[in-house]
Structure 1
Amino acid sequence: MMLALALGTDPALAETTLERIGRTGEVRIGYAPEVPFAFRTSDGQLSGIGPALARRVFARMDVRTVRTVESEFGALLRELKAGRFDVVAVGMFILPERCRQVIFSEPAFQAGTGFAVRPGNPRGLHSFEDVARDGSVRLGAVAGAVELDYARASGVTEEQLVIFPDAATAAAGVKAGRVDAYAAMALTVQSLVQRNPRQLERAEPFRNPTVRGRTSLEHGAYAFRPEDEDLRDAFNRHLAELLRTPEYLDLVAPFGLTRENLPDRTTAQLCAPSP
C-alpha cells in the first residue's frame, strides 16, 4: 500500500481484466491440445469447440483479437491463476473441486466418456469397472483429467494408471501397447478413432460411471480467475444469447456436437458438493 501511494497509484483504481480487454480489444485464451476441443489445423490455426465458441462470444463483446496460449491440461488452472492467460477455453468440465479454485461460465455443452482401444478391443474393456476387475490392465488418462477420478472411484488402482501429458501421447500409448485403453471424453475418443481407423477403436458398448451420485455426462465451460467475476458475467450474457440461436449448432456441428449436447444444468448446480 505504501509503495502504491509513493508511486502515486491507488490499488482501488487498478484496471480490471475486463477493462484491459475492453481498452485493448484483445483477450488471451489458454488451451491444451485435445481433438475436437482445441487443436491446430494443418495450416497452424487453432480450432476446436473451445476456441470457436470463445471467439464468437468475444466478437459479440467487440473483442476482435484473440491470442492463444498453449499449455498442458494439468497446468491450465495454475497458469490461469498466475495470469498467463485470461480464460481457459477448452470446454473444461465443471467439477466441485475445480469450482474451489476458479469461477466458471455457464455450461457450453455436455458430453460423456469413452475408451479408445486397439482394434477388436482385445481386453474386452467396456467400463472402468472392467479395468478394476483385472489388475493386469493398464489404463491411460491425461494429467488432471476427470477420467482419473472416475477410474479411482471405480476401484482402478494407481499401479494400473498411466498418466500422459496430452491426448495425442495417450493415443500413441494405446497403439504401442503401453496401455490397454485411453479414457477420455467420448468426442475425443471418436475423433482419435476417425484419425486412426486401423490402429484405434472406440469401445462399444460403453457404460458411463456414476461417481458420488454424479453421472459422468459432464458439462464443459470456460474458467476464469475468481477476481474476474465481471469478465465472467459479461461472457455469460453473450454465451447465453449464442446458445439460443441456430448459430451455436452451426458452430459446433463440425466438431461432432448436436442438439443432444446442449447443456441442461447450471454452474451453480454443478459446483454444489455431491451429497
Structure 2
Amino acid sequence: MKKLGILAGVGGVALTAILAASTAGSADDSKLEELKAQGFARVAIANEPPYTAVAADGKVSGAAPDVAREIFKRLGVNDIVASISEYGAMIPGLQAGRFDVVTAGLFMKPERCAAVVYSEPVLCDAEAMLVKKGNPKGFKSYEDVAKDATATIGAPGGGTEEKLALTAGVPRDRVIVVPDGQSGLKMLQDGRIDAYSLPVLSINDLVKKANDPN
C-alpha cells in the first residue's frame, strides 16, 4: 500500500456555524415554541468526522451536533434528530422545511449568508489535500491540479472543496464527487484519484482512523 501525506492550508481559512432559515421577529419566537412543543429539532448533518459522525447504532455525535444539542437544551428543546445530507442539498432542504437547522461543516460564504441565518462561528478550519507520501505530483494548490492534465481530485458533492477545484480551473470530469471520507481515502490508496480534499480536521481524522503503518 502506498504511503499518504497531507497538504494543509490549501485554499485558505473558513468558518463554520449553525444555520437556520431566514426569519425575523415574532416568527423566530413562534418557531422556538413549536420546537419546544415538538421536543426536538430536525437537523441536517454530513457524515464527516470530527464535524459530524454517525455511529453504527445511529447515534449522532461530533463537534457540530454536540454543540447544537447543548444549545437547543438551553433553549428548552430537549433533543435533536439528525438526517445525513449532501452539502449541496442542505440549504435547499432548510428552505423547503425538511430541516429546522443545519449543523455541519458548512462554511460561511456571502452567498449563503444571503439565503440563511448563521449563528456565531463555532469552528475555524483550513482546507487541505490528502496526497500520496512525497506529494509525487507536487500539488500546492487547486490550480496545480488544474494544470496537470492527468490529475484528478476527489471532493464531497456540493461542498466548498468541489467549488474551489472547479473555480481554480479543474475540469468537471477531473473533479470526482466522493460520498464520504472513507471512500475518498480508499480511492486515493487505490490510485483512482491523485488527491482528496477536505478541511484539515477531517483529513487528520481520516488519517488517524486509517491506522496505516505504510
Q: Same fold (TM over 0.5)?
A: yes
- Quick one: which of 90, 97, 101 aligns to 1:76? 90
**In the alignment, is the contact (CA less than 8 A) between 1:143 and 1:164 conserved in 2?**
yes
- Quick one: which of 48, 58, 62 aligns to 1:34? 48
Matched, 1:159 2:186: no
Quick check: which one's strand share is greater?
A: 2
Q: Say if 1:40 and 1:199 are closer, same or farther in 2 by CA, change over 3 A.
A: farther
State TM-score, norm by structure 1.
0.62
In structure 2, stretches of 5+ residues that fail to align are 1-25
In structure 1, stretches of 5+ residues that fail to align are 1-11, 201-275
Aligned to 1:171: 185
Task: Name the larger-Rg structure.
Answer: 1
Q: Take 2:87 and 2:72, find their aligned partners in 1: how far apart are those partners? A: 22
Alignment coverage as a number of residue pairs: 188
Matched, 1:58 2:37: no
Deviation at 1:152, TM superposition (A): 2.8
Deviation at 1:175, TM superposition (A): 2.1
Q: Take 2:182 and 2:158, find their aligned partners in 1: how far apart are those partners? A: 15
Aligned to 1:46: 60
**In the alignment, is the contact (CA less than 8 A) between 2:86 and 2:158 conserved in 1?**
no
**In the alignment, is the contact (CA less than 8 A) between 2:166 and 2:175 conserved in 1?**
no
Matched, 1:91 2:105: yes
**In the alignment, is the contact (CA less than 8 A) between 2:188 and 2:195 conserved in 1?**
yes
Q: Take 1:55 and 1:107, find their aligned partners in 2: how far apart are those partners? A: 16
Question: Structure 1 counterpart of 2:52, which letter?
Answer: A
Deviation at 1:189, TM superposition (A): 0.7
Runs of 4+ in 1 over 4 A off after TM superposition: none
**In the alignment, is the contact (CA less than 8 A) between 1:73 and 1:165 conserved in 2?**
no
**In the alignment, is the contact (CA less than 8 A) between 1:171 and 1:192 conserved in 2?**
yes
Aligned to 1:111: 125
State TM-score, norm by structure 2.
0.78
Q: Take 1:20 and 1:168, find their aligned partners in 2: how far apart are those partners? A: 37
Deviation at 1:149, TM superposition (A): 2.6
Q: Take 1:74 and 1:169, find their aligned partners in 2: how far apart are those partners? A: 18
Deviation at 1:199, TM superposition (A): 8.2
